[in-house]
Amino acid sequence: MKRQQIILIAGGVAALLCIYFLGQTVPAKKGTLASQNEAHTDSAATINTEALLSAAKKKLTSSQQAYINGLEASVVRGDVKTQQIRTYNQLATFWKDSARMFEPYAYYTAEVAKLENSEKSLTFAARLFLNNLRGVDEPSLKSWEASQAKELFEKALALNPANDSTKIGLGSCYIFGSTAANPTEIMQGIQQILEVARRDSTNMYAQLMLGIGGVVSGQLDKAVERLEKVVKAEPHNMEAVFMLAEAYERKGDKANAIKWYEIGKRHVPNKDVVKEIEERIEMLKK
């Protein structure tokens, strides 16, 4: 079963997108950890991982805190990698299933991946962060998640430098993890993905990410060209369909924007999301 996620992208413009990708990893989150002052360092622009985990623990019951403290203590005492992996897996499972907080869940999943040092586990953990940061508005949290994903993708590439999907994932971290303070990161990500697309123009994942990068960076003509290519090859790729509608809307091409919102709407089962898409269409008709 796939999930729908409504996200806002770029420039403060509220663009409705219904994005289908991967399976849901964590049920509804209990708040945003980045809103906790103690999760920020004095530099304000970054998040301290230790402080973030501490802020998360403060949201737990006393019995849950005792359980977590016990697991963390066993990691400190343990000097065997297999024991560390087992404990980090227990911590990840707790934060995912019991506490239902994404950031610590993803963090401990990443720690397991680093210890296992396999391409599969590293890319899995990296994509957890990448997929989640796309719906994050808080700049400091977005940067933190992007940096976590970048590190994991880089470790995976060190194991298999020829993996194009991993290269695209790394480039995507720069596109989706960029903030107003570092706008050039978008172009850095686009250039990394272009290296794959120039070598293999049929790589639709690369074309999709470049199309999204074009929307985010304002290169709308290029975005439309690439996204049209994706929807032609993959007509049921709803991420590409809604991004194409968004690109046309930003270009001021209302007719094509409406066309693609209508096409995408047919594939959305969520009535609330359909209603918002219909409101968007009606607004464009005025």
DSSP sequence for 116-136: HT-HHHHHHHHHHHHHHHTT-
pLDDT tens for each residue of 149-202: 999 999 999 999 999 999 999 999 999 998 767 778 899 999 999 999 999 999
DSSP 16: -
pLDDT (0 to 100) of residue 183: 77
Q: What is the mean pLDDT of residues 105-122?
A: 98
Its pTM stands at: 0.85
Q: What is the dihedral of CA 139, 142, 27, 127, to 10 degrees?
A: 170
213 CB-near residues (< 8 Å, 6+ apart):
175, 186, 189, 190, 193, 219, 223
Statement: residue 34 has pLDDT above 70: no
Three-class DSSP category at 5 = strand
* Identity at 77, one-letter amino acid code: R
User: Which residue type occupies 212?
Assistant: I
Tell me what the mean pLDDT of segment 200-210 comes to. 97
DSSP code of residue 38? G
Where along the chain do its domains lie? 51-116
Rounded CA-CA distance 109/57 in Å is: 17
